[in-house]
Amino acid sequence: MKDLILVTGGTGYIGSHTAVELINEGYEVVIVDNLSNSTADSLDGIEKITGVRPAFEQFDICDKQRLDVFFEKYPSLKAIIHFAAFKAVGESVDFPLKYYRNNLVSLVNLLDCMHTYKVPSIVFSSSCTVYGQPKDLPVTEDAPIQIAESPYGNTKQICEEILRDSVRSMPELKVIALRYFNPIGAHPTALIGELPNGIPNNLVPFVTQTAAGLRPELRVFGDDYPTPDGSAVRDYINVADLAKAHVTAIGRLLNKANEPGFEFFNLGTGRGSSVLEVVKTFEKVTGVPVNYKIVGRRAGDIIAVWADTTKANKVLGWKAETSLEDTLLSAWNWEKKLRGIK
Ligand code: UD1
């Protein structure tokens, strides 16, 4: 029998790509999502890519009673991948309680149910935001956690602490936190991808929407950073590559039946790219110009961060494989499909 995995937030951007990779690797998937920042259309995409339509339950995991009903309905659940969370840094500054309530309560509810219904394994979506601006680059998992720049970032830090404390108190619990750098791009089939709500906050959806004519111009936030071209540097990781790391993490949790604990891994490419490099690479691979203007720095942005991926490479046996070029092309193919551009 196939192992059944719960993917919370599974109709969302990273969740839908992970559902595809899980199904491709022979897992059975059940998705829980309240569709607050995604649509059920991604289920069609997952089905078209894999030939399998995952089970789907629409509800909010902050509703503990409803979550109990779910766990009772799926007694064969083997592990959880927890994506469901709010993620807009700016919004979290304006509505901190919304972020604390949603991102913390959902995890607490899941951990409660994992204990009650004896599902000991969870992969948690964390972020490189926990490192702030690291002193040494590339950043390793040993780098100190810095005071969070935003309530969003703080929820990721607190969630990791909740998981660490829970591992101490629940001897059966096995946790892997994956610290994502900057996930971008879409599935190579262009059947699933990122669907930002309203005006995108993140760079690549803004680039693709500008190229598609939805936005008049991209604002490049700052060209006076101490970086080679003056714009900020990030580690942009292909979303399908990132999704595969979750499948590897699930395999690791399910295989070490008697080894509880808390592990955490950086998920990036190990390479930093500047904002201007992303824009120019996008123009080069797509042949589509991006109208952009240099403006002042964005509050709260760090200068540069990219991952040391040695631990994920060695311990998980996972490595990012897709080039920035192919990843940006996949983002553009997805945008073209959304907008009906030939
Ligand atoms: C941030 C968080 C990350 C979080 C993500 C979710 C950090 C280090 N990273 O990523 O943990 O998961 O938000 O949204 O806190 N840029 C422009 N013009 C734009 C948009 C972005 O120049 O219109 C620049 C930014 O200034 C930045 C780079 O592009 O230098 C990447 O920005 P973005 O895609 O928003 O991601 P982060 O801020 O790195």
Q: What is the pLDDT of residues 286-330, one digit of tens each?
A: 999 999 999 999 988 999 999 999 999 999 999 999 999 999 999
User: What is the predicted pLDDT for the residue at 300?
Assistant: 86
User: Which member of 27, 99, 131, 152 is catalytic?
Assistant: 152
- Residue list, ligand 1 pocket, CB within 6 Å: 87-89, 127-129, 153, 182, 201-203, 206, 218-221, 232, 234, 275, 298, 301-302, 305
- Of the pLDDT bands very low, low, confident and very high (cuts 50, 70, 90), residue 73 is very high
Asked if the model's pLDDT at residue 256 lies above 80, the reply is no
Mean pLDDT of the chain: 96
Asked if the model's pLDDT at residue 257 lies above 60, the reply is no
Of all residues in the chain, the percent with pLDDT exceeding 90 is 95
User: What is the predicted pLDDT for the residue at 245?
Assistant: 98
Q: pTM of this prediction?
A: 0.97
Instruction: Return the higher-pLDDT residue of 197 and 8.
Output: 8
Atom number, ligand 1, closest to the C-alpha of residue 278: 29
Q: How far apart are the C-alpha atoms of 276 and 262, rounded to whole Å? A: 37
Atom number, ligand 1, closest to the C-alpha of residue 132: 8
Q: What is the mean pLDDT of residues 156-161?
A: 98
- Of the pLDDT bands very low, low, confident and very high (cuts 50, 70, 90), residue 149 is confident
Q: Residue 14 has which token pair? A: 């990273």
Of 33-47, 120-134, 148-162, 255-269, the one with minimum mean pLDDT is 255-269
User: What is the predicted pLDDT for the residue at 197?
Assistant: 86
Q: What is the pLDDT of residues 4-18, one digit of tens each?
A: 999 999 999 999 999
